[in-house]
Amino acid sequence: MLPDSHRLMNTAMLMWGCIFCLIASFCLFLGKNYHKERRKWMLSMQLSTATLLGSDALAWIFRGNPEELGFYMVRISNFLVFALSDLTLLFFQQYIGCHIFGEDRRKNKWIRISSIIAVAGILLVVISQFTDLYYYFDAENFYHRNSAYILSMILPMTAMIIDFVLLIYYRKRMSREIFFAMSSYIVLPVIAALFQAVHYGGSLINIAIGCSMTLMYIVATREQNRELGRLAKSREEIAEKLQISSMLNRCVKELSSEKDDDQAINNLLKIINEYFDADRTYIFEIDFEKDELFNTYEYVKGMVTQQIDNLQGVPMEVISVWMENFRKSEAYFISDLEQEKGMPHYEILKMQDVTRLLAVPLIKEGEVIGFLGVDNPRSHYEDATLLSSIQFFVTSSLDRKQEKEYLKYLSYQDMLTNLYNRNRYIEVLDFYKNQKAVRTGVAYIDLNGLKQINDQKGHEAGDKQIKGAASIIAEIFPKQAYRIGGDEFVVISSDTAEQEFTDKMELLRNQMKLSGISVSVGAVWKEETDDLGGILKTADMTMYEEKEEYHRVNGTYYRR
C-alpha cells in the first residue's frame, strides 16, 4: 500500500490528466478543421482516457473504505479502469488505421486482429467481475491482484506490439512528429506495465496513457495548423497568378449556340480540356438527400481511361476538405497528390492516376451544388479564374436541363397525390404491348364513400382522403402506383414474387383500415403474361365485385 503522500500525488496526477483530456475533447468537439475520421477517433480516445483516469482516481480515493459507498465505488471504478484501458486501445487502433490506410483500414487484417484482441480484453474484464479473474477485494475493501492478472497486460501488450510494427512499417505515410506521438502510446504504457508487473507503485500505466494522449493531441493540433498554413499559402500563390483567359468567350459562345444542353456541356468540357492540356475534364453534381456525388459529364483525352461509370454515388466526405474552399467560392488546387497523403480524397485520386488537379465550385443561390474539375492539367493550371467564370454558365445550362426534365416530370405526375398520372399509366401499357410482363402483380384500388365525404364535408375533405390513400399506396409500392381517376388507383409491380405481392396487398388493406380509409381492392399476380391489359381488367372486375359487396352491406346505391 502506498503512503498517504504518494497516494495523494498519484490521485492528483490522475485528476490533472483527466481534466486535460476533457479540455482536449472539448477543443476537438469545437474544432471544424480536423480530418473528419481522425477527429472522431481522437475525440473518442480523449474522452475514454478522461473517464479512465477519473475512474482510477476514484478507485484510489475510496480504496480501503469498507462502507457501502466505498464498496461500490471501488468496484465500479476498477471495472472502468480495466475496461476503458482496452477500449482506449481499440480507439487508438482505429486512429492509426486512419493515418496509415484511410478508408481501407477495415480491410487490413492486422488492424482487425489487434482490434479483436482489444475486444477480447474488454470481454475478459466483464467476466472478471463475476469470477475474480484479474483481481479481488479483501474485507477492508483493498484491491489485490489475482493469478490471471498478467493476462490483462499480455493481451493489450500483444495488440500494441502489432500496432507498433504497423507504425514502423508504414512510418513514411505520416510525419515524424505524428509517428513519435503515436509510438508514445505504445512505448510509455509498455514500459510502465513491465515496471508495474513486478512493483505495484501507483497507476503508472494509466498515467503513461494520459501523457501519450497529451502528446498526441498537441502534435495532431500542430500538424493540422501546418496543413491549414500550407493551404492558405497555396491559395495566396494561386491568387497572384490568376488571369482571365480569352477562352472564356469561346466557352460562353459554345454553351449559348448549341440547342442540345447535353451536347453543349460536352463540347464545353472538350474546349476546357484542350486549354489546360489535361487528361480529363468533368462535372460532379451533389445529391443532398443521399449525401453523395455523381459524375454527370466527362471528357477524356486520347487513350485516357474514362472514369464516369466508376464515380457514381461517391460519399461527400471524400471532398470534405475541398468543400471548405467551395463554400467560400474558392478553387481547390492540388499541385502534387503526394502532398495530400492522408486526406480523404487521396486514395480515390491515386486509383485514377491523378497527380495534379484543379476544381471550382458550381454555385446556385449561394449553395454549392457540384464542381467543375480538370485532372492532370499541364498548362494554365494556375488560371482558376477561367473555370470560376465558366461555372456560372455551366450552372445555367444545368438549370435549363433540370427545367426541361421537370416539365417532363409534370406531364407524368399527378399533382394532388404525387403518384404517376394516367399519361404515364397509358405509356406503361403501350410498352407492355410488345413486351412480356414477368412475375408481375397488378391491383385496382377504389375509395369507398368518397361521394358522401364530398357531399357532407366538402371537396377539401375528399381531397385529403385521396391524398391519405395515395400516401399509403406510395409507401408500400413506391414508383409503381398510378392515379387514373378521381379516386381510382392502379398498381403495377413487376419482378415481384407472388408471396411478396400478396403480403404487400395485405399490408395495404391493413394500413388503409388503420387510417380510417375504406377501399375496394382487386389484385392479380402472374408469373408471366403477354396480356398485361387483360390481367388489369381481371383485377378491375374483382375490385368491382368487392365494391358492389360494400354497397350491398351498407345499403347504398352504386353505379359503375
Question: Is pLDDT above 90 for 315?
Answer: yes
pLDDT mean over 163-185: 87
pLDDT at 514: 92
Task: Measure the N-to-C terminal CA separation of the chain; round to a whole number of Å.
Answer: 94
The 8 Å CB, 24+ separation contacts for 4-13 are 6/201, 6/202, 7/60, 10/60, 10/202, 10/203, 10/207, 11/57, 11/60, 11/61, 13/207, 13/210
Beta strands per DSSP E along 166-319: 280-287, 292-300, 312-315
Vertex 477 angle, CA 475 and 482, to 5° = 105
Reading the block at residue 35, the C-alpha cell is: 480530418
Contacts of 414 (CB under 8 A, 6+ apart): 420, 421, 470, 482, 483
Indicate the average pLDDT of the chain: 83
pLDDT computed for residue 254 by the predictor: 59
CB-side neighbour CA atoms (13 Å) of 202: 18
35 or 491: which carries more pLDDT confidence? 491
Gap between the Cα atoms of 358 and 322, Å rounded: 11
CB of 78 within 8 A of CB of 128?
no
CB atoms within 10 A of CB 335: 15
Superfamily the domain 422-554 falls into:
Reverse transcriptase/Diguanylate cyclase domain (3.30.70.270)
pLDDT of residue 556: 63
Q: Is 292 helix (H, G, I), strand (E, B) or coil?
A: strand
Q: Which amino acid is at 376?
A: N
* C-beta of residue 491 within 8 angstroms of C-beta of residue 474: no
233-256: pLDDT as tens digits: 666 555 444 443 445 555 665 566
The 3-state DSSP composition of the chain as helix, strand, coil percent (nearest 5) reads: 65, 15, 20
The alpha carbon dihedral of 24, 26, 27, 33 has a sign of positive
Confidence of residue 78 (pLDDT cuts 50, 70, 90): confident
Q: Residue 403's pLDDT is what? A: 65
DSSP 349-409: HHHTT---EEEEEEEETTEEEEEEEEES--SSTT-HHHHHHHHHHHHHHHHHHHHHHHHHH
What is the DSSP pairing of strand 332-334 with strand 312-315? unpaired
Do the domains spanning 4-225 and 422-554 agree at the CATH topology level?
A: no
Give the mean pLDDT of 398-415.
71
**Looking at residue 243, what is its pLDDT?**
40
Q: What is the pLDDT of residue 500?
A: 94
4-225 maps to which CATH number? 1.20.1070
Q: State percent of the chain over pLDDT 70.
A: 87
Per-residue pLDDT of 45-75, as tens digits, reads: 889 989 888 888 887 787 777 777 777 787 8
Instruction: Decide which of 221 and 488 is more confident.
Output: 488
The pLDDT, as a whole number, for residue 476 is: 94
Average pLDDT of the residues in 360-382: 86
Q: Is the dihedral of CA 267, 273, 279, 281 positive or negative?
A: negative
Domain ranges of the chain: 4-225, 247-405, 422-554
Q: Which long-range contacts (CB under 8 A, 24 or more apart) does 100-107 make?
A: 100/166, 100/167, 100/170, 100/173, 100/174, 102/37, 102/342, 102/344, 102/346, 102/347, 103/37, 103/344, 103/347, 104/347
CA distances (Å), origin 38, targets 220, 223, 314? 9, 12, 20
Least reliable range by pLDDT among 101-110, 154-163, 274-283, 297-306: 101-110
- H/E stretch holding 439 reads strand 437-447
CA 93 – CA 87 distance, rounded (Å): 10
State yes or no: pLDDT of 31 exceeds 60.
yes
Asked if the 247-405 domain carries CATH number 3.30.450.40, the reply is yes
If you average pLDDT over residues 126-150, what whole number do you get? Answer: 76
Mean pLDDT, range 268-286, rounded to an integer = 88
pLDDT at residue 287 tops 80 = yes
Q: What is the CA radius of gyration of the chain?
A: 33
Q: Does 200 score more than 80 pLDDT?
A: no
463-498 confidence digits (pLDDT tens): 898 999 999 999 999 989 999 888 899 999 999 999
Q: Do residues 284 and 294 lie in contact, with contact meaning Cβ atoms separated by under 8 Å?
A: yes
In the structure, what pLDDT confidence band is assigned to residue 499 with cuts at 50, 70 and 90?
very high
Residue owning grid cell 480516445: 45
Confidence of residue 176 (pLDDT cuts 50, 70, 90): confident
Strand partners, 370: 285, 362
CA 526 – CA 535 distance, rounded (Å): 8
The mean per-residue pLDDT over the stretch 141-158 comes to 78
Contact 63, 4 (CB under 8 A): no
84-85-90 Cα angle (round to 5): 85
